Amino acid sequence: MLATLPMGQTDPRLEHLACEVGIAIVATDRNLEVSIKEIPEDPYMRFGIGMQMGAMHVPPAMRIPLLIEGCKKLNIDGVLDRFHVGCRAVAGDALLIDNAIKKELGIPVMLLEWENFDPRVYKHEEYKKRMEIFKMMMIANRHS
């Protein structure tokens, strides 16, 4: 599985949970490298490039192709698109990423709104159930 957003910034329980249910997170969008061939005219695109830290901090028009390319190269079975509820830079991309990956690759995507900075919000049983279902979806998709 490929996961979006940095892993274990403050609370690594989600990564441990994936392992617990038998899902390997083999890459994150932070590992996907952005290559800039030319500087875009659009000021928002230039601003996004200036914030570049892998595919995590570039505009969706650049981020989505990187995610798709990374999934193809790594033969990914599914994408965990977790997004911090309070971060406008990534929360707005979730449905765009979901639609593009499903359309282009036909693999499952799990959208997960999470709160990485307040450990009191972590919902272990809910996340575990969703991860188990997601694992079944990835396995079923691989065998179809």
Residue 15: strand, helix, or coil: helix
The model carries a pTM of 0.81
Per-residue pLDDT of the chain (144 residues; tens, 9 = 90+): 888 876 666 678 888 999 999 999 988 877 776 666 666 778 777 666 655 555 556 778 888 998 999 999 999 999 999 887 777 667 778 899 999 999 999 999 999 888 777 778 888 999 999 999 999 999 999 998
Set out the domains of the chain in order of their start, with CATH numbers: 2-142 (3.40.50.11900)
d(CA 138, CA 61): 26
Give 34: exposed, middle or buried? Use CB within 10 Å, 0-12, 13-18, 19+: middle
d(CA 62, CA 60): 5
Q: What angle do CA 52, 54, 58 make, to 5 degrees?
A: 50
